[in-house]
Chain A
Amino acid sequence: MKDHRPPLYLFTGIIIGVLVGLLITYVLLPVRYTNTAPDTLSAAQKEIYRSLVGRAYLYEADSGRAFSRLALLQDNDLNTALVAQSQQLAAEGTDLLSARGLALLASAMTQPGLVITPLIGVTPTAAATKSQPATRTPAPTPTSPPAITATTPVHVTRTPVQPTSTPFATFTPRPSATPAPTQGAPFQLVSKSGDCDKNPRGALLTVNVLDASGNGLPGVKIEISLPNGGSEDFYTGFYPEIGEGYADYSMSPDITYSLRVGIGGEPVVGLQLPQCNGSAGQSYTVDLELVFQQ
């Protein structure tokens, strides 16, 4: 009599084969990407990259170079990414320089003409020759190595690195969910004042943004309404010598503004330059000072 049972040894072989395959691909010879571009970095690695761009921007004050580097990350909303990371770093207090640099870069996005004063770095080594003008090397482009732009090459051996178009990869790891940055509690107006004895005929709106502990927060977006119905953004952190959470805006007299601090903050309406009366009866405006706190 013939036996019609299925050959179980075949299934056993398949199962063993799959297990051996998984062992090889995940443990013994896991995929290793090489020659990748910055836009493929993980979220955590992109944050490191971004913070370094911000910090370098503080020392070099080269917004063109900073933005070409940031463009390599191909963020969907660069401004939001910069502001969120700046606020996160400022809240953590671990890397305030990067936080400030990122806040300034976010500001530079909305104010393209913005020029900052670079921080003073270190004096170059004896190899440096001060008489030669400094030329900048552009950041690499996503598809090709940087163009050769040296005006005075130092032992340049012109053998450009060949770009590798397709990284050697056998599978794509599952993307991990990126937690959204914590925005913190909304900012609330805690003080609104105008000192008649200070800066007569002043026309500045000064804003101080503090965290829950009373420390200034750089990189916080402030949205102010414009008379023509539009709005304009500015950011804290421009004047660290005054305060980390300080920002100001030039107001026009006789115009009423409204303002919102941070994401999700309640709008403050009816803002006008305070009017004061002098001893001779003349009236003048002074700066309007607002303090917001989480």
Chain B
Amino acid sequence: MYGWVGAPAQPANTTLASLRSDYKTDFVLMVAEAYPKSEDLPDAIKMLRQINPDDPLKAADEALVTGQQLGYSEADLRLLVNLDLRVRQYGSQP
């Protein structure tokens, strides 16, 4: 009872993958801002793997959906769409 109610454990040393969805979305937006060039894409995907180690495209997809739900500005949504498209194209390359 004390552990659950009196002094519940606080998270520490967590990972980017455990962030709340709005923080994750902002992180993906940062990736879209920070890696705007095509040649940056491998590094951008490396960053997206911090959010979703198994499926970076899913991280970009989810950020786009959450960004829309949270009412991100059109400029930011454009950045997210751009990143999503580039990751998708990169993933479909042979």
Contacts and interface: CB of A to CB of B under 8 A. Distances in A.
Contacts of B19: 35-38, 41
Contacts of A163: 20, 22
Interface string A47-63: 01100110110111000
A150 interface: yes
B6 interface: no
A157 B28 CA distance: 20
Contacts of B74: 132, 134-135, 150-154
Contact of B14 (A45, A128, A171, A176): A45
Contacts of B10: 40, 169, 172
Contacts of B18: 32-36
A278 B88 CA distance: 66
A37 B23 contact: yes
Contacts, number: 165
Contacts of B35: 55
Contact of A53 (B14, B30, B81, B85): B30
Contact of B29 (A36, A137, A167): A137
Given A33-B14, A137-B29, A161 B78 contact: no
Contact of B22 (A32, A41, A145, A171): A145
Given A146-B70, A164-B20, A42 B15 contact: yes
Interface residues of B, number: 47
Interface string A127-153: 110001011110110000111111111
Interface residues of A, number: 63
B20 A175 contact: no
Contacts of B23: 37-38, 72, 140
Interface stretch (A118-126, A189-197, A225-233, A255-263): A118-126
A4 interface: no
Contact of A169 (B8, B50, B75, B77): B8
A157 B68 CA distance: 7
A40 B26 CA distance: 16
A155 interface: yes
B33 A60 contact: yes
A170 interface: yes
B36 A33 contact: no
A242 interface: no
B71 A125 contact: no
Interface in B8-44: 8-16, 18-23, 25-27, 29-31, 33-38
Contacts of A150: 71-74
Nearest to B43: A95
Given A139-B26, A146-B22, A56 B71 contact: no
B66 interface: yes
A134 B78 CA distance: 10
A173 interface: yes
A270 interface: no
8 contacts: A42-B12, A45-B50, A48-B16, A56-B33, A146-B72, A153-B71, A161-B20, A161-B70
Top-4 shortest CB links A-B: A148-B71, A121-B36, A134-B75, A55-B34
Interface of B: 3, 8-16, 18-23, 25-27, 29-31, 33-38, 47, 50, 66-79, 81-82, 85
Given A147-B71, A172-B10, 4 more contacts: A41-B15, A136-B73, A146-B72, A161-B22
